[in-house]
Amino acid sequence: MQLEVIGIGGAGCRIADAIRAAEPADHSFLTDVFVFDTDAATLQRTVVPESHRHQYGQGTGIDADDDLERRFEMGETHAEELLEALEQGTPGESDAFLVAVGLGGATGGGTAPALVAALQRRYDASVYVLATLPADREFDPDADAGDTGPHSRTTAAAGSDEPPRPTAASNAVATLERLEGLASAVVCFDNEAWLRPGETVSDARDRSNRELAGRVAAVFAGGGGESDGPVAQNVIDASDVERILGNESAIVALGYGDQDVETKRSRFGLGLLPTERDVETSEAVSAVETVVRKGVHGKLTLECDPETAARGLLVVGGPPTWLNRQAVAEGRRALQSTVGENGVLGGDAPRPDGETVFAAVVLAGVESDRLEELRAADRAA
């Protein structure tokens, strides 16, 4: 499928950059990448071509310290302007839109609901939101004081050089509420859960964005993008993605697992004339089962119980000799045992030059305690 990515605000622009960098050279899935922000300096730091950057909001009297409600108003005012900026590309050729935004701030969160609504009105395509949730230390200076919670860290927020954002939790909750009924689905990435001990949010930013972008690329590039290589035996297309993500603003978590595999062998043991290695069915099945298990039960973009998911999507990729039908079918059954047989789709994504078998897992309609934690922080603020 072909995806149009739009980054809004500082966090959204950085994520859009990372997704652009993660696009496989031999398996294109991006129609265009655009970045929108009120700050010209943020736009200049991106690697997106200048024709696909757009600054908005000048002369409105709204600055970075204004509250989210004013930013919602600004989003309504400038939504059509942003749609016109998209015409520098080919938005009508996209199978879906992905709007990337950081929910802790006001710029992206304030603009996203209006832009999503405008995209839904103008184009006959799904509009997904890729939303990062703020870390506790961004809005709670005492978040690291103890070591008792599931997201506790070892470095106090007071030791960070990042300015506090006391309204970050409230902004996230309010924006999610606005997106309800507008976004086709909301893919969440929880910054707090991805911080390592001693890391600040800025320390982790590039690594976290790469992790998130890699998962996005594995799902959407594995779903029938433009490939110069072997064709998948079971292609996941835009309608399949839409069926799993839905159109009712489901909360979505992404999982990923991989394993290095041996792809070449040398004749006569002399290191000469490398050839494609024969792969036993049992070996391929074992590798696929391993990466699917990592994808489902490993680190998700949003902590949740996979069994709460209403639907699931599995993309298994890697060297074609490792992707026999039985191996992929076994992987799909492994996901079905968690999510349920009626709500799972699966496909393969051949990567002839790859040396890794991977599984990208989409869990749609999940329930997460993390969202309730942010609501509680909002109520306590």
- Please give the backbone phi and psi of residue 314, each rounded to the nearest 5 degrees, phi first: -125, 125
Eight-class DSSP state of 302: S
Q: Is 46 annotated as a binding residue?
A: no
82: left (phi over 0), alpha (psi -120 to 50) or beta: alpha
313: left (phi over 0), alpha (psi -120 to 50) or beta: beta
Q: Is 108 annotated as a binding residue?
A: yes
Q: Is 138 annotated as a binding residue?
A: yes
Q: Find out whether 311 and 343 touch, Cβ atoms under 8 Å.
A: yes
Beta-carbon contacts of residue 216 (< 8 Å; ≥ 6 apart): 19, 22, 98, 130, 187, 254
Q: Is 191 annotated as a binding residue?
A: yes
Q: Is 247 annotated as a binding residue?
A: no
Q: Find out whether 236 and 230 touch, Cβ atoms under 8 Å.
A: no
Alpha-carbon torsion, ordered 86, 87, 89, 91, to 10 deg = 70
Task: Kindly state the tokens that stand for 120.
Answer: 């839904």
* Rounded Cα–Cα distance for residues 114 and 100 (Å): 14
Count of CB atoms situated within 10 Å of the CB of 358: 25
Beta-carbon contacts of residue 339 (< 8 Å; ≥ 6 apart): 306, 307, 309, 310, 311, 312, 363
Binding residue positions for GTP: 106-108, 138, 191, 209
Binding residue positions: 106-108, 138, 191, 209
